[in-house]
Structure 1
Amino acid sequence: MQVDGDISIRSDTLGRLALRAVSLQNRLDVVAPNLEWLRVHGCNYVDARISAPILTEVEWDDGYDPARHRFIDTGRHLHRLAVTQWTQTPPLLERFDVADELSLHLTIPPIPSAYSKFLENTSKLPQSKVLTVGLKVIGHSMGSSLLHLLRKCGGITKLKIEFIHLDAPMVSLCNHLGCSCIQQEMLRTDNVTLDSLEEVEFHFFTGCDEDIDLVKLLLMCKKTLRKMVINVADDLALSEEVQKKIQSFLHPSTILEMGGPASRKRDVCQCKDHDWY
């Protein structure tokens, strides 16, 4: 449903609802006692009041403002929460205490204040078992950004990392500007606890040095995994040298699966203007 003007929905049977705002300053009021699945796109400036006591899945595209976006009678435990953040406004993370499956696709622009905002907006994450991460890290350290999120999600059993390769300023810009992403404290792995982690999947893997370094960094946090899956990007085949290098990082008991291409598109936003990749 496209939201253009004020909308009020009252339904005892509605189970799934997808909303997309096409104008600013809308008002939206939803009372749906059987609503289980909600997708919201581009509703930054919409005043929304959603009453959904059995809501279990939320896909939220772009910023969240607790003063504008109010969940009424909704519990704090979701089966799945998928957040795509294009701006530096807070994502919908602190509203829920638990999300069994948590999917984060976040953008970090190439300025120190944006990185500080990223740290602030992700200071508290819902407890989860499965974590999917896709970061548009423009000019910052991908390693320190990922480690920050993992410190907040120590109870996960499965981790999915989607590589996003950009033509962007190098991290050396952060050295010049004194950004916190390159501070040694942010790159520590001894304070990342992943005792429950069993399986890791990498998607859109290219075999470049940055991708390999991230695999190595992750294995410094959790040396023994039950399984690792690496799916390559489109039209790529990993060289034997790269495969052997990855294998050398792994514990002998870890199962390694190499596959691809992994060009699946996420299902958070259906708008062609907002294709993440």
Structure 2
Amino acid sequence: MHEIEKHMIAEFSILELHLTTEGHVFGAFVCHLLGMNRIRCAMQRLKVDLQRPMVKGKVCPPNCPCDSPDWKSQTFSLTYLEEVEFDGFEGEDHELDLLKLILRCAPMLKRMIMKLSKEAWTGYSRCTKIYDIFKAYTSVECYIYLSTGLMHGSRNCPLT
């Protein structure tokens, strides 16, 4: 975090993250970034593009430093955040925890766009969990797209 903070020289309003997971979880890392003062006080739009390895099966080893247990309960104010987009969202537990954290910390959030990976939209329970989270935030317009680009549903057009 200190290295990132040291190299931030320009004001910005959009933060776009392209993450390659290689089997690791990314929620704690994104939480740390969003909690940085210069980021959370300037960011109006967040886009997270998730790239997964072609070969599945890699997972975090036990006690991996990429998933510190306390990040899920963090609270900070993303006062200016109005739009969030996830591309490649699978609906895994740590992704759902990050989604909840963003929704909880962004009082001015207007729009959430979720582009699901094939793994998410072929698993009914994953889609249901995503919709259940969105139901608690009725002031946010939520749009969910399949990896094919077709709209899967929105707050006004729920999953059937």
Output the TM-score relative to the length of structure 2: 0.67
Structure richer in strand, relative to its length? 1
Compute the displacement of 1:229 (Å).
Answer: 0.7
| CA distance 1:236–1:187, change in 2 (3 Å) | closer
Unaligned runs of 5+ in 1: 1-118, 264-277
| 2:154 is the counterpart of 1:261 | no
Conserved 8 A contact 1:161-1:202 = yes
Which one has a bigger Cα radius of gyration?
A: 1
Unaligned runs of 5+ in 2: 150-160
Compute the displacement of 1:130 (Å).
Answer: 1.0
The structure 1 segments of at least 4 consecutive aligned residues displaced by more than 6 Å after TM superposition are: none
Aligned length: 139
SS in 2 for 1:122: helix
Instruction: Give distance in 1, aligned partners of 2:148 and 2:12.
Output: 24
Instruction: Give distance in 2, aligned partners of 1:256 and 1:238.
Output: 19
Partner of 2:84: 200
Partner of 2:105: 221
Report sequence identity in percent: 24
Instruction: Give distance in 2, aligned partners of 1:219 and 1:143.
Output: 14
Partner of 2:33: 149
- Deviation digits for residues 190-230 of structure 1, max 9, x if unmatched? 2x321011111110122333432332232232256211111
| CA distance 1:216–1:160, change in 2 (3 Å) | same
Instruction: Give distance in 1, aligned partners of 2:51 and 2:29.
Output: 13
SS in 2 for 1:123: helix
CA RMSD in angstroms comes to 3.1
| CA distance 1:132–1:238, change in 2 (3 Å) | farther
Structure richer in helix, relative to its length? 2
Instruction: Give distance in 1, aligned partners of 2:2 and 2:121.
Output: 38
Output the TM-score relative to the length of structure 1: 0.42
Q: 160, 164, 170: which one pairs with 2:60? A: 170
Q: Relative contact order: is structure 1 or structure 2 higher (C-alpha 8 Å, sep ≥ 6)?
A: 2
| CA distance 1:255–1:140, change in 2 (3 Å) | same
